[in-house]
């Protein structure tokens, strides 16, 4: 039986998993997360979430959520729910780690 991974929390600090790179394919005009033998093309919102919430320069996920809430003038609770779900999915797929 597969264990369900806990959801990413606002206090977590995330970074790209070893071997994963954020790259811009200028020819196609797409941003993607590239990992060994796989890649994930990011839409505009996914790219904004990764930039706001993942990396050494980011204090924690809560700071990224606050930034996105202000940038998109959206209700924080809705932004937080969507961001935490997306980041949990990225973690479960091996693109980010805590």
Q: Split the chain (98 residues) into runs of 10 and give each run's mean pLDDT.
A: 74 96 94 94 96 92 97 96 96 94
Enumerate domains of the chain plus CATH numbers: 15-97 (1.10.10.1150)
Q: How far apart are CA 3 and CA 39, in angstroms?
A: 25
Residue 12 β-bridge partners: none
Residues 6+ apart with CB under 8 A from 78: none
For CA atoms 85, 56, 36, 23, the dihedral sign is: positive
What is the model's pLDDT at position 6?
87
Q: How far apart are CA 7 and CA 56, in angstroms?
A: 20
């Amino acid at each position: 039986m597969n264990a369900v991974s806990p959801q990413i929390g606002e206090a977590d600090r995330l970074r790209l998993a070893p071997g994963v790179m954020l790259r811009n394919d200028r020819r196609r005009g797409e941003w993607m997360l590239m990992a060994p033998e796989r890649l994930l093309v990011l839409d505009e919102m996914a790219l904004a979430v990764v930039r706001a919430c993942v990396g050494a320069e980011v204090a924690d996920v809560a700071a990224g959520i606050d930034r996105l809430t202000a940038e998109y003038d959206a209700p924080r609770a809705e932004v937080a729910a969507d961001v935490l779900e997306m980041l949990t999915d990225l973690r479960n797929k091996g693109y980010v780690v805590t």
